Amino acid sequence: MSRQYGIYIRTDRCIQCHACEVACKSWNGIEPGIRWRRVADEWSGKFPEVANRTVSYSCMHCAKPACVGACPEKAISKRSEDGIVVVDVRKCKGCRTCAAACPFHIPEYGRTGTMQKCNLCLERLQQGRQPACVATCPGEALTFGFMDELAELSAAKSGEKLEAATDPSLYISGRLNGQAFLDLLNHSRQLKDASSL
Amino acid sequence: MNPDKDRFLVSRRTILKAAGAIGAGMPFADSPTGQSSHAATAEAVEERIPTFCAMCGPGLGCGIYACVRNGRFLRVEGMKESPLNGGRICAKAHAAPQWVYSPQRLKRPLKRTGAKGEGKFAPISWNEALDLIAAKLKEQKQKYGPESLAILSPARRSYSEYLYRFLIAHGSPNYGHSGICAMQKAFAFTYTLGSAPMPDVSRSKLILIWGKQPIYSGSTRGNLKQILDAKERGAKIISIKPTLEPDVALSDLWIPIRPGTDAALALAMLHVIINEKLYDSQFVTQWTFGFEKLADHVQKYTPEWAQPVTGLPAAQIRDLARTYATTKPACIDHGNGLEHVPSSNYAVRSIAILMAITGNLDRPGGDIFPSGGGMPFPKSVHLKERYTQEWVDKLVGPEFPKPFQPSTEGTSAAYYRIFNSVLTGEPYRIRTVIAPGTQPTVSTRGVKNVIEALKKLDFYVVVDVMQTAEMNYADVVVPVATMYETDHPFEFGGNWIMARRKVIEPLGDYKSDYEFWIDLGVKMGYGKDFWNGSLAECMNEQLKPLNLTMDELRARPTGITFPSKSMEYEKYSRVFASPSTRFTKAPYLPQGKVAIYNTTFEENGFEPLPIWVEPPESPTGTPDLMRKYPLTFSDFHTSKAYNAGWLRNVPLLREILPFPTLQIHPDTADERGIHEGDWVTVESPHGSMKIRAQVNPGIRPDTVMALHGWWQGCEELGLPGFPLLEGGANTNTMYSVDERKAFDPLVTAMSSQTLVQVRKA
């Protein structure tokens, strides 16, 4: 495989404005209740020494994606040219095996029942534009690019690559390190389950 | 000119570049100027139309490209060429198409056929609507005088000046300003410093964010970027406000002040800085008036005195004062939170004095007086030159006392006092209220009184894009085009000017807000003042100082950015001599120095030095009430999803904040058996709300807060709307409207603090 696309998030510049979420929904025509990108936050400490940390995340287009192997219909694949993990909705039967396999709880299922998730705005990339979330981010917290380039940018800000068994394509810097991000994801998942909308 | 010429076509089938050829950190070729060479079929072509976003205000919107296919507005992209936002846009901007196509859009002009409030209307034409309004205004002008008309101000838009023009042509001074937004600070700052200072965040070592939500308000290249960049280069940020919002989360220190007590904190800071001699004595001597009087005056405002009032430890107040006075340069980024309290003018004056005596005024990295941009100013349509003293004398309920009218914006009556006049007949009754883009039952306090006044009012006209909260009381409803459905006006800010472009054809029998006032002006017989109905002439006259016509401006797709002037600092002798907007043109500062001791206010019967005044209900002001109502309540003005009282009907935004919530500390919730998401009743001495608990560790345990502006439902998501009065979600029902206790005596600023009890609903 050639180079791998990924995202670098500078959590110090995320202001929980949800512009990324809404840009994603608008540009990809996503139905209500479904999100391909999410903004999550986490509290720590006690008043008045209380802190809040935040992150925006979506599918991390893992180098070793668990969903691809798990899918009984072979509906999920990883593009050899850029590492983007894509779903073929014509093959997907909506069995949700991928949801159980994904350690980050990314797959979503809307009215059609088939799996949907971030494809890094493939269509925009083909037009020479950045993913909608990255292009819009008012705080310039999100950067899109090849992993080797993101590594350099992240190193300059004492960031790190997210370490997990599936080798996700994400760099992170700022108030959240990789482990804190994974903890936050798990917590966020619980909130997502409890969400009434 | 051919309107299609300035639209940019990008075929969706065109693949501009292999995505893989571009590296990280390098911007992609997002520019729309790569015009398609494909003569693509209609359905394959997506137009990218450069214009302004219209999803917030006041001021001009960020630059956007509106993406349109087959005449349908599909989505939005940020305009890189715009100096306001450099291609970045917020959630609201992306939600614009849903707003434009909302099922709540007003579709045709309406005439009331049932009783007031009943909601029975008959459709009429645009022309009939204008005839009805003009006939009523002519009749009332003859019977009651032209001052019987009041127009309510929306959050400032470029059409605000047209409201003034119409009032002046008609003969009424009654422009109804909210009394809670921007002008309160502007007034107190100009009469203390000669001008309203802005924080020079990008050069500052210490930034005090005070009563402000800097990151969800305004353009993305403004405050937001400055603060994030300042943080990144190591500037220290201190946030002074009751809840830990995401901007506070970025701060080095959070000062969790009790709502409405900013004046007490500022006075105590002055106490520390003066007593510990931490001030800039050279500046004080040369450029301030009345420092010695202040030094005596603040002796009673010790940090220990301020501790129970502000809910902040005295030691923290001392530290804050010392840090602000000794870190150079330091700026105060002040917000509208300072304008919702009866001590508002004292808070702002104290803060102005803090800036001045610490030597941070108009110096790099401090709070500076804008030097103006390099762009010639378009001609105003206000007709300010026609004001007379008689005009001011006729004001129905001045927002600022008459001796200070007209103020910076023009003459103004307090929005709420206009409705009060309908109920009391004092000093006379307003007979017609026109509400363009504003909703009095959600935008001002005392909702019960506002509704009573709407029932009693002779004639009420709603001019809006969307159904409004009190539309059922309207005699005539005039639907206007969204800013995506008109090709005017131009908008400008800083050094940038651009023509609006029509994105889609109007979806109904609409004209713009601008056309409404011009057409109504002509119908009233004021054609000479309304360009005899010619919008083109109206635009071109305004553009004359720039030697441009609207067509010439429109030929520049992303507008014109003028070179900026280099910043000048320490403009004291010039700024301190600024003439005021009063008829006498007497300077704001009679001594030509910072008015620490304010002789202008003293001569007119107001306090010469800033003092502390309690909100109508508070722990230290009304301790007896604490048994029944043990928590302080206030509301937020700004949120990531909404503006004021609109946008709740837009699904993409409603998904972010689906319900009105009460921010409550975990301990405070536990004591009441309240869990996250529970519906709770919040009861004050004046009203009650039923909203959902959001357990928030980042709020003072003795304080609960809610976002204001809730009433709309969201049809597409099946989410309900909320009653305007008891048991709804309207924070304005919660507060006192007692003129003696709840309003600032000088700048009207209406209190948004009270005491409440909270229980599970």
pLDDT band per the 50, 70, 90 thresholds, residue A192: low
Same domain, B593 and B702: no
Q: What's the CA gap between B114 and A181, in Å, rounded?
A: 58
Residue B281 Cα, gap to closest chain A Cα (Å): 35
Contacts of A23 in chain B (CB under 8 A): 89, 91, 94
Mean model confidence pLDDT for chain B: 92
Put simply, the answer to whether A136 touches B224 (Cβ < 8 Å) is no
User: Nearest by CB to A128, which of B28, B75, B697?
Assistant: B28
Please report whether residue A43 resides in a domain: yes
User: Nearest by CB to A135, which of B16, B87, B244?
Assistant: B87
pLDDT band per the 50, 70, 90 thresholds, residue B203: very high
User: Nearest by CB to B254, which of A16, A33, A48?
Assistant: A48
Q: What's the CA gap between A145 and A6, in Å, rounded?
A: 6
The residues, ordered by sequence, that sit 6+ positions from B471 with a Cβ below 8 Å of its Cβ are B119, B462, B464, B477
Residue A3 touches partner B, C-beta closer than 8 Å: yes
Residue A99 Cα, gap to closest chain B Cα (Å): 23
Q: What's the CA gap between B576 and B289, in Å, rounded?
A: 11
Put simply, the answer to whether A26 touches B87 (Cβ < 8 Å) is no
| Confidence check: pLDDT of B31 > 80 | no
- Return the residue in A17, A39, A84 with the most chain B beta carbons within 10 A, the one to mutate for interface testing: A17
Query: Angle CA(B175)–CA(B177)–CA(B182) in degrees, nearest 5?
Result: 135
Structure token pair of residue B77: 């992209």
Structure token pair of residue B324: 């602000």
The helix/strand count (H/E) of chain A reads as 7, 10
Q: What's the CA gap between B738 and B203, in Å, rounded?
A: 43
Please report whether residue A25 resides in a domain: yes
| CATH assignment of the domain containing B77 | 2.20.25.90
Task: Quickly count: other Cβ atoms within 10 Å of residue B85's Cβ.
Answer: 27
pLDDT at A74: 98
Each residue's pLDDT tens digit, B603-637: 999 999 999 999 999 999 999 999 999 999 999 98
pLDDT at B161: 95
User: B463: exposed, middle or buried (C-beta count within 10 Å: 0-12, 13-18, 19+)?
Assistant: buried
Contacts of A12 in chain B (CB under 8 A): 228, 231-232, 250
- Return the residue in A30, A50, A81 with the most chain B beta carbons within 10 A, the one to mutate for interface testing: A50
Put simply, the answer to whether A52 touches B244 (Cβ < 8 Å) is yes
Structure token pair of residue B610: 């800033």
| Residue with more model confidence, A160 or A188 | A160
Same domain, B388 and B522: yes
The number of distinct structural domains making up chain B is 4
Mean predicted confidence (pLDDT) in B710-722: 95
Put simply, the answer to whether A17 touches B77 (Cβ < 8 Å) is no
- Return the residue in A15, A16, A153 with the most chain B beta carbons within 10 A, the one to mutate for interface testing: A15
The number of distinct structural domains making up chain A is 1
Please report whether residue A73 resides in a domain: no
Instruction: Kindly report each contact of residues B577-582 with a partner whose C-beta sits within 8 Å and lies 24 or more positions away, as own/partner.
Output: B577/B194, B578/B190, B578/B194, B578/B195, B580/B190, B580/B191, B580/B404, B581/B406, B581/B407, B581/B408, B582/B403, B582/B404, B582/B405, B582/B406
pLDDT at A1: 53
Same domain, B90 and B129: no
pLDDT band per the 50, 70, 90 thresholds, residue B1: very low
What is the span of the domain harbouring residue B137? 110-178+376-561
Tokens 């979506």, residue located: A58
Residue B205 Cα, gap to closest chain A Cα (Å): 18
Tokens 């003569």, residue located: B39
Please report whether residue A94 resides in a domain: no
Residue A26 touches partner B, C-beta closer than 8 Å: yes
Q: What's the CA gap between B399 and B750, in Å, rounded?
A: 11
Closest-CA residue in chain A for B213?
Answer: A15
DSSP classification of residue B206: E
Q: Say what percent of chain B tops pLDDT 90.
A: 86
Contacts of B25 in chain A (CB under 8 A): 143, 145, 149, 153
| Confidence check: pLDDT of A96 > 60 | yes
Put simply, the answer to whether B231 touches A12 (Cβ < 8 Å) is yes
Structure token pair of residue B196: 């309203």
Q: What's the CA gap between B357 and B377, in Å, rounded?
A: 33
Report CA Rg, chain A.
Answer: 16
Put simply, the answer to whether B24 touches A54 (Cβ < 8 Å) is no
C-alpha closest to that of B91 among A188, A88, A136, A109: A136
Each residue's pLDDT tens digit, B674-707: 999 999 999 999 999 999 999 999 999 999 999 9
| CATH assignment of the domain containing A173 | 3.30.70.20
pLDDT at B80: 96
Put simply, the answer to whether A128 touches B19 (Cβ < 8 Å) is yes
Residue A195 touches partner B, C-beta closer than 8 Å: no
Mean model confidence pLDDT for chain A: 93
Same domain, B307 and B324: yes
Each residue's pLDDT tens digit, B209-257: 999 988 787 788 888 899 999 999 999 999 999 999 887 888 999 999 9
User: Nearest by CB to B247, which of A15, A45, A145?
Assistant: A15
| Confidence check: pLDDT of A116 > 50 | yes
Each residue's pLDDT tens digit, B556-605: 999 999 998 888 999 999 999 999 999 899 999 999 999 999 999 999 99
| Confidence check: pLDDT of B28 > 60 | no
User: Nearest by CB to B16, which of A17, A128, A153?
Assistant: A128
Residue B656 Cα, gap to closest chain A Cα (Å): 8
Q: For residue A55, give Cα distances in angstroms to B419, B495, B699.
A: 46, 35, 21
Please report whether residue B439 resides in a domain: yes
Which is it for strands A142-146 and B560-561: parallel, antiparallel or unpaired? Answer: unpaired
DSSP classification of residue A138: T
Put simply, the answer to whether B655 touches A32 (Cβ < 8 Å) is yes
In chain A, residues 117-176 whose CB comes closer than 8 Å to chain B? 123, 125-130, 135-140, 143-146, 149-150, 153
Tokens 């051919």, residue located: B2
Contacts of B216 in chain A (CB under 8 A): 15, 17
Q: What values do phi and psi take at B683, rounded to 5?
A: -125, 130
| CATH assignment of the domain containing B387 | 3.40.50.740
Q: What's the CA gap between B479 and B583, in Å, rounded?
A: 38
Domain's final residue, options B73, B100, B127 = B100
Same domain, B425 and B545: yes
| Confidence check: pLDDT of B156 > 90 | no
Put simply, the answer to whether A127 touches B16 (Cβ < 8 Å) is yes
Same domain, B304 and B325: yes
pLDDT at B128: 97
Each residue's pLDDT tens digit, B339-379: 999 999 999 999 999 999 999 999 999 999 988 778 999 99
| Confidence check: pLDDT of B37 > 80 | no
Same domain, B554 and B641: no
Q: What's the CA gap between A89 and A76, in Å, rounded?
A: 9
Same domain, B221 and B291: yes
Same domain, B44 and B166: no
Q: What 3-state class would DSSP assign to A39?
A: strand
Put simply, the answer to whether A127 touches B12 (Cβ < 8 Å) is yes
Q: What's the CA gap between B759 and B629, in Å, rounded?
A: 11
Domain's final residue, options B49, B70, B100 = B100
Closest-CA residue in chain B for A157?
Answer: B232
Each residue's pLDDT tens digit, B262-289: 999 999 999 999 999 999 999 999 999 9
Closest-CA residue in chain A for B18?
Answer: A126
| Confidence check: pLDDT of B16 > 80 | no
Closest-CA residue in chain A for B668?
Answer: A47
Residue B665 touches partner A, C-beta closer than 8 Å: yes
Number of Cα atoms under 13 Å in the Cβ half of residue B416? 23
Residue B17 Cα, gap to closest chain A Cα (Å): 6
Each residue's pLDDT tens digit, A150-165: 999 999 999 999 999 9
Q: What values do phi and psi take at B516, rounded to 5?
A: -55, -50
Which is it for strands A5-10 and B748-750: parallel, antiparallel or unpaired? Answer: unpaired
Same domain, B650 and B583: no
Please report whether residue A130 resides in a domain: yes
Mean predicted confidence (pLDDT) in B635-656: 93
In this structure, are residues B43 and B12 in contact, taking their beta carbons and an 8 Å threshold? no
Same domain, B548 and B581: no
Q: For residue B278, give Cα distances in angstroms to B321, B324, B328, B555.
A: 9, 10, 12, 56
Task: Quickly count: other Cβ atoms within 10 Å of residue B240's Cβ.
Answer: 28
Each residue's pLDDT tens digit, A14-57: 999 999 999 999 999 999 999 999 999 989 999 999 999 999 99
Query: Angle CA(A178)–CA(A183)–CA(A188) in degrees, nearest 5?
Result: 120
Taking each helix axis from N to C terminus, what angle separates B535-543 and B513-523, rounded to the nearest 10 degrees?
110
Q: What's the CA gap between A98 and A35, in Å, rounded?
A: 16
What is the span of the domain harbouring residue A28? 5-61+119-194
Put simply, the answer to whether B250 touches A33 (Cβ < 8 Å) is no
Please report whether residue B616 resides in a domain: no
Q: What is the pTM of this model?
A: 0.94
C-alpha closest to that of A109 among A131, A124, A77, A87: A87
Residue A53 touches partner B, C-beta closer than 8 Å: yes
A29: alpha, beta or left? (left if phi > 0; alpha if psi -120 to 50): left
In chain B, residues 609-648 whose CB comes closer than 8 Å to chain A? 640-641
Residue B585 Cα, gap to closest chain A Cα (Å): 42
DSSP classification of residue A115: E
Put simply, the answer to whether A32 touches B249 (Cβ < 8 Å) is no
Residue B140 Cα, gap to closest chain A Cα (Å): 48
| CATH assignment of the domain containing B741 | 2.40.40.20
pLDDT at B509: 87
Beta-sheet strands, E only, within B253-389: 253-255, 288-289, 330-334, 367-368
Put simply, the answer to whether A15 touches B90 (Cβ < 8 Å) is no
Each residue's pLDDT tens digit, B414-436: 999 999 999 999 999 999 999 99
Same domain, B647 and B664: yes
Sign of the alpha-carbon torsion through B273, B275, B281, B284: positive
Mean predicted confidence (pLDDT) in B662-673: 98
Residue B105 is which amino acid?
R
Contacts of A19 in chain B (CB under 8 A): 88-91, 93-94
